[in-house]
A and B are shown apart, each in its own frame.
Chain A
Amino acid sequence: MLFLCTSVLQAQTKKGDVLIKNGTVITITDGTLENTDVLVRNGKIDRIGKNLKTPNGVEEVDATGKFVMPGIIDAHSHIAGTSINEGTSQVTAEVSMEDVVDPLDVGIYRALAGGVTSIHLMHGSANVIGGQNETLKLRWGSTNPEDLRFEGAPRTIKFALGENPTRGGRSRGIQPQSRMGVEAMLRNTFNDAIKYRDAWNAYRSNKSSRKVAPEYSLRMETMVDILEGEVLVHCHSYRADEIYMLMKVFSDFGIEKLTFQHANEAYKVAPELAEFGASASVFSDWWAYKLEVYYSTAYNAAILTENGVTTSINSDSGELIRHLFHEAAKTQKYGDLSDNEALALITLNPAKQLGIDNRVGSLEKGKDADIAIFDNHPLSIYAVPQMTFVDGVKYFDIENDVADQRIYIDPESTVEDVQILYSNDHDRCMEGANVVNFTDLFNNK
């Protein structure tokens, strides 16, 4: 509200022109079109049709025998961020991932190589009301975080229920330490926000020249924006009871825009989610990694879809993000979703959950030319991404896939013959959330 300077900061990003010829075009919204061309002008899809003429100066890409689909959108990612959790407080609505976007993270290129064009860079799940997230376009190669911003995307924020925020609460000796405490904290914070809004409204309507402003709180400003529907809530959750609890809380406060992240038990309350109008962004077949997520099913996405819940499949991982098309394909084994339904889970549906479906998520005239090209049908186990375009600009081409993609290099780093780095904690929800204690400090695992 008070910091509307983002447009000034927005750098002019590159827009491309390209004609993708003679591919199998999977539009998501208008069926699958054989031997069809997609013409991109100035970063937007200009025409989709057969035998389109190549305008002067426009590069052609031969997609004969290949599959052209909308760029994949990951509604839950922690790549491209220098910090993930400000977990020191259980409400940090004032913090924003837009301040910590890391355009130099090689994970961005790896995601592009998996056909991904947009991610939802989320705050972690260490606290009940975490920070604001940032929707990004993977414009790899720029060193300026502003260049990755999905300009015009709605603001979103991370909430978290269950074990993660209560674990943080218990280790710090602060509220919440139980699921009851989580709900109380949510209600108290929204009530504080209403009081804050009232105080500022009273101040603004006061005509006196000798009025004194109330204390400013960026945290409460954000909470007010949530109440007013300006910020979409994405809530980390697992159990059906807590999912249902949050819908009740939001009903009481009149908040409508809600997506449940992970939501492994969402299938148990699928009709209730549909009635509320809430969405779900889930894993394909991953659970039992802690007690609260012991009970789940690989049919989760299919059941939610069949019940009319807008559902997406996300990665929450710098590794899974490289093959979200495989993750989507699992819903055909577990739930018999159609090709279009399965692919919508990683394109149009996450776009809806992020409020960017007017721009991306399907191949339609006028939409952004965020496009992935595969050699086989993307739901085939043999599918390999060939090219990835954002705004019509090619950021990945398997024919020109330079091994060392690092943008900045530390001159004092060591060079080793083989560099395989794997850290289970990296690019994940609880990254950096560790409440450091002496045991952690010297734990070599």
Chain B
Amino acid sequence: MKILRKTLFRLLFILPLIGFTSNIKAQSDPTGESPATRTYAITNATIVQAPGKLMEEGTIVITDGLITAVGKNVNIPVTAEVIDGTDMFVYPGFIDGMSNTGAERPANPERPDNLFTPDPPNYYAGITPENQVVDQIKVDENSIEAMRKVGFTISHTVPYGRMLPGSGALILLRDADHPDKLILTEGSSLYSQFSGAPGAYPGNTLGIMAKFRNLYKNAELSKNHSELYASNPEGVARPTRDRVSEAFYPVIEKRQSIFYNASNSLEARRAMRLQKELGFNLVLGNLQEGWDLADEIKSTNTKVFMSLELPKEPKSSKEEDKSDEVKRLEERRMEFYKKYISQYAELQNAGIKFGFSSIDARSSQLKDNLLTIIENGLSEDQALAALTTNSAELLGISKIAGTLDEGKIGNLIVSKGPYFEKKSQIKYVFVDGEKHEYDVKDGSKVKEGDETPVADLDAILGAWNYEFTTPQGTQTGKFIFTNESDILSGTMTSSDGTPDTDLQNISFLNGELSFDFSIDAGGQSVDIVVVGVVDGNNYEAEASVAAFNFTFPIQATKDEA
């Protein structure tokens, strides 16, 4: 492989095998699982109504989806299911500022035959701002439950795609039989990314920046034209329908913000550069390198959702005779790790009110990452604000969410022990007034994701020797699968010395093992999806390169331990 390297955005997903049984069924549900009441009262609990606002031995009542009472002496309706909150801590449900939660990644668009690369069709170029994320949302997407069980109740979900995938929506992470029932508000954002089209315009940041300006400028002209025509069509050329331009109208009118996925500092600066030139309202999402940007963010009034993804803590070499140079390099690497984990506190101290976004993070890592951020200077109240009140404010939903006040949506977390203590466990998450209950383990050994049938995983854990043949010859190496804290991860090594690559989206279900990885080919990221069947120590799979409409077989055999 020409350049095989780790992709920037690691997305290792927990096995999508979590057996969650819905407890919310329609009234006529013959299974008898429908709740007897939609009124709940949690009594004698420590209630954190808002960051820094704590009530001990309080009661909170939820009726028909809304919080109807919070206090020490409140009447508990006779119809209420009463939950004893002794030793329990109640928090407002968390709000995710930018994620793909609930959305299903569509297949990569097929490369059209005879593609005219300078001017590809919009769906291939990734210019589909007229799309709505609700069309990608699936009610049974694993991510909904994965995020809910760690305390998230509302997600600003943005669509998958390339440069301009479409508009995002605020969704409630509840159970429903139709995506429409998850929607809190639609058109919450116009989502934008620095993702080029494979082998077509715009192919990279150069083209994306220029194309964005061009689209925006023409949208302004198109808007003027259509308004002129609407006011009086006589003698005015009839405007042709242009859904791409129309999608920008709410942005131009500042009724909608552009959410830019800007993970690194250069991307963030580019997004702010476009904002300064064109004047739209900008929200940076997924920011992972913000420590040098405080002044810029403040001077441009940019809103920010910081990423909840953190780099892994670097491990220094244990070799005793390591050189001074290696020591220095390790120190500098650690110095930068510290920048990543302490930037949250620094931005807070600089007066930037940020929320969090989970788009590049793994749900199972979120709490550990939050605790790391808190250990490095952000206070618990500030972290809670970023998860609740700040996000609500930045997303314009402070009236209905973010705190535990009467009249707000019944979104809350009930935790055994204070949430920001490492050993605390979430017992209930209420979304839209509906109760979701989780098993809480006793003792110190907390094991999450226990529904995962760990035993099944043994069939794939370990090293597999793969082989596939390309026009350049036969490639060999290893796929290595590991299971740490019930997170299945994988790495691909190559015998020719190419650096290792992380495997993504690993799934092993009913003997079918699938995963994907990316190759950086001449500055262009190419995704390769591998799907196949495990039979004992043999794996027969097919790899597909969507960008080239090409597939080839891969075989692997497992190393005997």
A residues contacting B by CB (< 8 A) are 2-3, 5, 8-9, 82-92, 94-97, 99-100, 102, 104, 123, 131, 143-145, 172-174, 210, 212-213, 215-219, 403-404, 406, 408-413, 415, 417, 431-445
Contact = CB atoms under 8 A, between A and B. Distances in A.
Nearest to B522: A434
Contacts of B325: 403, 417
A174 B117 contact: yes
Given A91-B118, A411-B336, A444-B498, 20 more contacts: A2-B217, A5-B277, A82-B266, A83-B204, A86-B201, A86-B203, A86-B210, A144-B292, A145-B266, A218-B217, A403-B325, A411-B313, A411-B314, A411-B333, A412-B6, A412-B311, A432-B204, A434-B523, A436-B547, A443-B2
A174 B224 CA distance: 35
Contacts of A96: 206, 209-210
Contacts of A431: 523
Interface stretch (B26-34, B362-370, B467-475): B467-475
Nearest to A92: B207
B201 A215 contact: no
B523 A88 contact: no
A168 B111 CA distance: 18
Interface in B197-227: 197-207, 209-211, 213-214, 217-218, 221, 224-225
Nearest to B236: A210
B349 to A, nearest CB: 19
Interface string B19-59: 00000000000000000000000000000000000000000
Interface string B311-328: 111100100001101101
A63 to B, nearest CB: 32
Contacts of B266: 82, 102, 104, 145
Contacts of A410: 311, 333, 336
A218 to B, nearest CB: 5
B119 interface: yes
B403 to A, nearest CB: 35
Contacts of B210: 86, 92, 94-96, 99, 218-219
Nearest to B497: A444
Interface residues of B, number: 79
29 contacts: A83-B205, A85-B523, A90-B118, A94-B211, A94-B213, A96-B206, A99-B270, A100-B205, A174-B116, A216-B221, A217-B214, A218-B217, A403-B328, A404-B328, A411-B312, A411-B337, A412-B314, A417-B322, A417-B326, A432-B522, A434-B522, A435-B199, A440-B522, A441-B2, A441-B519, A443-B472, A444-B2, A444-B498, A445-B2
Interface in B264-292: 265-266, 269-270, 273, 276-277, 289, 292
A8 B217 contact: no
A218 B199 CA distance: 21
A404 B332 contact: yes
Nearest to A445: B2
B237 interface: yes
B330 interface: yes
A237 B167 CA distance: 45
Contact of A212 (B119, B209, B236): B236
Interface of B: 1-2, 6, 114, 116-119, 197-207, 209-211, 213-214, 217-218, 221, 224-225, 228, 232, 235-237, 265-266, 269-270, 273, 276-277, 289, 292, 296, 311-314, 317, 322-323, 325-326, 328-330, 332-337, 340, 470-472, 475, 496, 498, 519, 521-524, 526, 545, 547-548, 550
Contact of B1 (A87, A102, A437, A444): A444
B489 to A, nearest CB: 14
A88 B118 contact: yes
Contacts of B496: 444
Contacts of A143: 265, 292
Given A87-B203, A432-B204, A5 B276 contact: yes
Contacts of A3: 213, 277
Contacts of A212: 225, 228, 236-237
Contacts of A404: 328-329, 332
A406 B214 contact: no
Main SS class of interface, B: mixed
B202 A88 contact: yes
A144 B228 contact: no
Contacts, number: 197
B523 A439 contact: no
B201 A89 contact: yes
A85 B117 CA distance: 14
A438 B471 contact: yes
A408 B118 contact: no
Given A3-B277, A99-B206, A412-B311, A440 B289 contact: no
B472 to A, nearest CB: 5
A415 B326 contact: yes
Contact of A439 (B6, B471, B498): B471
A421 to B, nearest CB: 12
A173 B118 CA distance: 11
B206 A442 contact: no
Contacts of B312: 411-412
A436 B232 CA distance: 51
In the A-B complex, the 3 residue pairs with the closest CB atoms: A89-B118, A434-B522, A432-B523
B113 to A, nearest CB: 11
A2 to B, nearest CB: 7
A437 to B, nearest CB: 7
B202 A174 contact: no
B361 to A, nearest CB: 15
A411 B217 contact: no
A436 B209 contact: no
Contact of A417 (B232, B265, B323, B332): B323
A173 B548 CA distance: 15
A100 B206 contact: yes
B472 A434 contact: no
Contact of A215 (B218, B292, B334, B524): B218
Contacts of B237: 212
A440 B523 CA distance: 12
A431 B524 CA distance: 11
B314 A442 contact: no
A419 B213 CA distance: 40
Contacts of A173: 114
A442 B2 contact: yes
Contacts of A443: 2, 472
B68 to A, nearest CB: 47
Looking at B197, B236, B269, B550, the one whose CB has the most chain A CB atoms below 10 A away is: B269
B521 A441 contact: yes
